[in-house]
């Protein structure tokens, strides 16, 4: 056996096994999420009575089973308000001489294209044409609507890294010092993220303070959660943080296609993970005047509180941590 003839290789086998499991996790989750993007219950509005909405729902279900959720609205103004609040992804206004449709391209190119295609299909079945108006078009400096996702990912990974480093190298520090470091890191991370996305790249031009605030909240939640997991469960806890917050978080966020076009499991968990919540916050603050960001903020607060709670667990039950250096005991008084 090679391990008998080369003891050094034998010591590397656990690291190699971890690498293989990482390949399995990254490749498996990403390919499962993105191998066949298609609509999954995308909410759309139709300004018509409930019977007409049911007929349109049945037609779309035949063409794309489970792809769209048609909701009836009594007035165009009410449907437009919900569209701008990101409650629905498109509005169809049927008319005797032709149909009109309202969309918001800033929500994402893929879901907008899917909604546009569904409306064109409905109008074709009615023997009419549809005129589409984009109420929130994407700007030229973010023409595919992907800047929100990459800004969030660019904050999540370094924040995870900082939380892990604080766990590995700050074990001997008092809890107050470590959490002060986290509180200092978060606003600095927010400023750096906004400076890069706005001033350097120009991808989210004109949204400096909005991006800075969101990235600070995101960085604090992610770093605290990773630090808490590491403090309570040691190296396995850090590995769990990578698996859930990075691998599953990025896969479920939907990337360029948004959670509305990934399989149900990924779309369901996306809003409750930092990456999905972060993308929603950045996109909605930058392009939708801060619509529907209460839930994402609560999600980030929950991840922060989880990390803080796990820290308290670690202080009471320090033996849970596996694979971390022991905290040095305080010297006895003379």
CATH of residue 70's domain is: 3.40.190.10
Determine the average pLDDT of the residues in 282-291.
Answer: 94
- My answer on whether 253 and 211 are in the same domain is yes
Domain count for the chain = 2
- My answer on whether 159 and 202 are in the same domain is yes
- My answer on whether 257 and 174 are in the same domain is yes
pLDDT at 313 > cutoff 90: no
266 assigned to some structural domain: yes
- My answer on whether 121 and 174 are in the same domain is no
Determine the average pLDDT of the residues in 303-323.
Answer: 82
- My answer on whether 282 and 310 are in the same domain is yes
pLDDT band with cut points at 50, 70 and 90 for residue 328: very low
pLDDT band with cut points at 50, 70 and 90 for residue 116: very high
**From CA 250, how far away is CA 43, in angstroms rounded?**
23
pLDDT over 70, % of the chain: 93
19 assigned to some structural domain: no
**Is 257 within 8 Å of 37 (Cβ atoms)?**
yes
125 assigned to some structural domain: yes
- My answer on whether 147 and 129 are in the same domain is no
- What is the signed CA dihedral for 279, 280, 281, 285, rounded to 10 degrees? 110
pLDDT at 2 > cutoff 60: no
**Summary mean pLDDT of the chain:** 90
Determine the average pLDDT of the residues in 261-290.
Answer: 94
Q: What's residue 331's pLDDT?
A: 43
Q: What's residue 5's pLDDT?
A: 60
User: Rounded to the nearest 10 degrees, what angle do helices 294-316 and 175-194 cross at?
Assistant: 150
Q: What's residue 182's pLDDT?
A: 96
60 assigned to some structural domain: yes
- My answer on whether 94 and 200 are in the same domain is no
pLDDT at 322 > cutoff 80: no
For 16-73, the pLDDT digits (tens) are 888 898 899 989 988 998 888 899 999 999 999 999 999 999 999 998 999 999 999 9
* Structural domain boundaries enclosing 309: 143-320
- My answer on whether 117 and 192 are in the same domain is no
Q: How far is CA 17 from CA 20, 210, 246, 322, in A?
A: 5, 42, 19, 18
């Amino acid at each position: 056996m090679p391990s008998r003839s080369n003891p050094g290789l034998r010591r590397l086998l656990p690291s190699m096994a971890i690498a293989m499991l990482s390949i399995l996790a990254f490749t498996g989750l990403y390919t499962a999420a993105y191998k066949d993007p298609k609509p999954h219950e995308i909410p759309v509005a139709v300004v018509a009575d409930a019977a007409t909405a049911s007929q349109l729902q049945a037609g779309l279900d035949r063409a794309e089973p489970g792809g769209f959720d048609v909701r009836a609205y009594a007035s165009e103004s009410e449907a437009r308000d919900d569209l701008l609040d990101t409650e629905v992804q498109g509005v169809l206004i049927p008319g005797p001489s032709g149909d009109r449709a309202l969309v918001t391209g800033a929500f994402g190119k893929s879901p907008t294209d899917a909604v546009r295609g569904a409306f064109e299909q409905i109008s074709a079945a009615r023997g009419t044409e549809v005129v589409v108006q984009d109420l929130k078009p994407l700007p030229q400096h973010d023409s595919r609507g992907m800047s929100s996702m990459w800004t969030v990912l660019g904050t999540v990974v370094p924040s995870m890294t900082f939380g892990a480093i604080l766990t590995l190298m700050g074990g001997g520090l008092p809890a107050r010092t470590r959490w002060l470091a986290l509180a200092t890191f978060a606003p600095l991370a927010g400023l750096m993220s906004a400076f890069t996305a706005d001033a350097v790249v120009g991808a989210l031009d004109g949204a400096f303070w909005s991006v800075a605030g969101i990235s600070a909240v995101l960085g604090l939640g992610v770093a605290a959660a990773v630090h808490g997991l590491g403090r309570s469960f040691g190296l396995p806890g850090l590995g769990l943080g990578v698996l859930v917050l990075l691998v599953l978080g990025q896969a479920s966020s939907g990337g360029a296609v948004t959670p509305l076009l990934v399989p149900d499991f990924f779309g369901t968990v996306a809003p409750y993970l930092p990456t999905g919540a972060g993308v929603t916050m950045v996109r909605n603050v930058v392009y939708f005047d801060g619509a529907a960001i209460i839930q994402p903020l609560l999600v980030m607060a929950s991840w922060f509180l989880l990390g803080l709670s796990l820290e308290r667990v670690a202080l009471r039950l320090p033996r849970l941590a596996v694979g971390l250096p022991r905290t040095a005991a305080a010297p006895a008084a003379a």
